[in-house]
A and B are shown apart, each in its own frame.
Chain A
Amino acid sequence: MRNAVVGIVMAVLAMGAVAHAQTLQIDGSTTVGPVADAFAEYFKSVQPDLAITVKKTGSGDGAAALVDGRCDIATMSRFMKAEEFQKAVANNVLPVAHVVAMDGVCVAVHPSNPVKALTGDQVRDIYAGKITNWSQVGGSNTPIVVISRDTSSGTYETFESLIMKKTPMGASVEYVNANPQAQSRVRTTAGAIGYVGLGFQEGVKILSIDGILPTRQTVASGTYPVARPLFLFTNGYPKLGSVVHRFVSFYLTEKGQELVEAKGFVPLTNY
């Protein structure tokens, strides 16, 4: 009996000792995460012994992981901040940015809301707490429930730099920690306003900002005021032909463009 137990334990340990041929660690933004997931799934279907882990904890966390050497690729929905860059260089990590898609930060409201368009200034005043009722911007008499992403999010950074422009957020702004959560809060709350990535439009109504709706053309051309590039950061330029290199240049292929479009982003290529 005892020998049988020892034998089983050894077998389990031996199974664990079989290493994968290659592993790839990807960490970072919840916005770019689905794109990395789609790429990873395709890569695994073509090369089954590849083990790719995609974590989605926020652009800030992705940058920290790349600097610490805990991941091979950091997905970020914003460029690296100066402190992150300096910390990376101090750690002998040289971040190289690869733009894989364009994203529009869409301002979303509940489908029952009659408001269809807002100006950038109005959105800013709503988030700063100066406009508190939908009737002040042409809607019904309901208080506005303002929803924002938390400060570790790249979507928050983009929204803050392109719309808020140094105006501090109001005290009653609610914070959620991921795109799907923001989407579900806006979808279930009648008076809510929130901002989500292009890929999270289901079930909510997207407003046009300054007269421009976020579509593929307006985001790619930059006419939509809240458009931003999505990045993959690597440590130095990856060795040509390595799996990291293939991953970060996958967006240039037709299949890559297909996957980017499927996730609701705007591809950089035009096949």
Chain B
Amino acid sequence: MNSAEVNLTLEPAADTPRPLVLTPGEDLRGYLLAHLGRAVLFLMTFSSVLAVLLILLFVIVRSLGFLSGYSIVEFLAGRDWRPTADSPVFGSLAIIVGSLYVSFAALVFAVPVGILAAVFLSDILSWQARNIVKPVVEILAAIPSVAYGFFAVLVLAPWMQKHLGLSTGTNALNASLILAVMALPTIISVAEDSISAIGRELREASYSCGATRMETMIKVVIPAAHSGIIAAVVLGMMRAIGETMVVWMASGNATQIPHPWWDVSQSIRTMTATIAGEMGESPEGSEHRGALFAIGVLLLILTFSLNIVSEYFLSRAKKATGKA
């Protein structure tokens, strides 16, 4: 009879390559390798965080020289931006207003179109058509911004001058339209994802109460996905505010606040275009360059806070669909 002998030797079994008991050397090596591996992966992850932090630090440090020597109130509230005059004036109000003006105008065009397109993509279009249309929409995001800029200056501007009778075609309206087209893929993607993430139960419950398709979409689905939609809009706004090439070419770069505030046919200048246009010629370490870095700090603060807002709404959306 086979006695159930317990194998007390220290050789490994025939099919396991690793010994069952480790020698001290192997044990130590395994410990070190495991922790070294963790450290390397941590460093790689941390290096991307570090890159962002270092950029923020670099921009802030370079702007401190200017901000300590120039009145901040004058910088934020002054309307004249004359860096190359004999007594330079750095008033960035018109520039900040220009950035926000163009971004909000872009959202006015992009948000209705984007949300309705997202609803269409997720609720109305058949699954096969959706699999074709959604990648096409995402291709819009891959077009280089300088191509949009060319289109704006060479095609859209003369068209505006001829058909809309505007005196100048490079104005806030031109820049807003192109920014709206650039922000659309972002808005549509994120909104569509959050609308699709709402389960069928909600829609079926609405239909079972006798609601029509339109009532379901507008009164049930969109409100249910409101966190994700708000996040989509905020991300679209981030894209619009950070865009440089298009506004540099298409907005006319006039340092003014549009006189009746709703007159979008006047030229404006944005923060990004100011930095891009004037960085090269400003002497290193001069007040002008410090002022440009200060504008960069403002831009970073704006985009970071928008990012935090969108993260908050996205996490609310995830929590909502987790519950549903």
Interface residues of chain A, those whose CB is within 8 Å of chain B, are 57-58, 60-61, 64, 83-84, 87, 142-143, 145, 150-152, 166, 168, 171-177, 181, 184-185, 188-192
Chain A min CB distance to B130 (Å):
40
B253 and A152 within 8 A (CB): no
B277 and A150 within 8 A (CB): yes
Q: Please, which residue of chain A has its CB at the minimum distance from the CB of B256?
A: A171
> Bound complex: CA of A58 vs CA of B282, how far in Å?
11
Question: B124-164 CB contact bits vs A (8 Å, 1 = yes)?
Answer: 00000000000000000000000000000110011001000
A189-B283 CB under 8 A given contacts A151-B278, A152-B277: no
Q: Report how many A-B pairs have Cβ atoms within 8 Å.
A: 83
B154 and A64 within 8 A (CB): no
| Chain B residues closer than 8 Å to A64, beta-carbon distance | 280-281, 283-284
Interface residues of chain B, those whose CB is within 8 Å of chain A, are 79-80, 82-86, 94, 153-154, 157-158, 161, 167-170, 248-249, 252-256, 266-267, 269, 277-278, 280-284, 286
Q: Please, which residue of chain B has its CB at the minimum distance from the CB of A146?
A: B254
Q: 16 A-B Cβ contacts within 8 A?
A: A60-B282, A61-B281, A64-B284, A83-B286, A142-B167, A150-B253, A150-B277, A151-B278, A152-B277, A152-B278, A166-B86, A172-B256, A175-B252, A175-B277, A189-B161, A189-B168
> Bound complex: CA of A143 vs CA of B80, how far in Å?
23
A152-B168 CB under 8 A given contacts A171-B256, A172-B266: no
With contacts A87-B283, A172-B266 known, what are 19 further pairs, Cβ within 8 A?
A58-B281, A61-B281, A64-B281, A64-B284, A84-B283, A151-B278, A152-B280, A168-B85, A171-B80, A172-B267, A173-B254, A174-B170, A181-B153, A185-B157, A185-B170, A188-B161, A189-B157, A189-B161, A190-B161
| Chain A residues closer than 8 Å to B284, beta-carbon distance | 64, 87
| Chain B residues closer than 8 Å to A175, beta-carbon distance | 252-254, 269, 277
Task: Find A188's partner among B158, B253, B266, B283 (CB 8 Å cutoff).
Answer: B158
Chain A min CB distance to B15 (Å):
32
| Chain A residues closer than 8 Å to B167, beta-carbon distance | 142-143, 145, 189, 191
Chain A min CB distance to B265 (Å):
11
> Bound complex: CA of A64 vs CA of B285, how far in Å?
12
Centre residue among A143, A181, A189, A192 by max chain B CB count within 10 A: A189
| Chain B residues closer than 8 Å to A173, beta-carbon distance | 254
Chain A min CB distance to B282 (Å):
8
| Chain A residues closer than 8 Å to B158, beta-carbon distance | 188-189
A171 and B254 within 8 A (CB): yes
A150 and B267 within 8 A (CB): no
| Chain B residues closer than 8 Å to A166, beta-carbon distance | 86
> Bound complex: CA of A176 vs CA of B251, how far in Å?
10
B278 and A172 within 8 A (CB): no
Chain A min CB distance to B213 (Å):
47
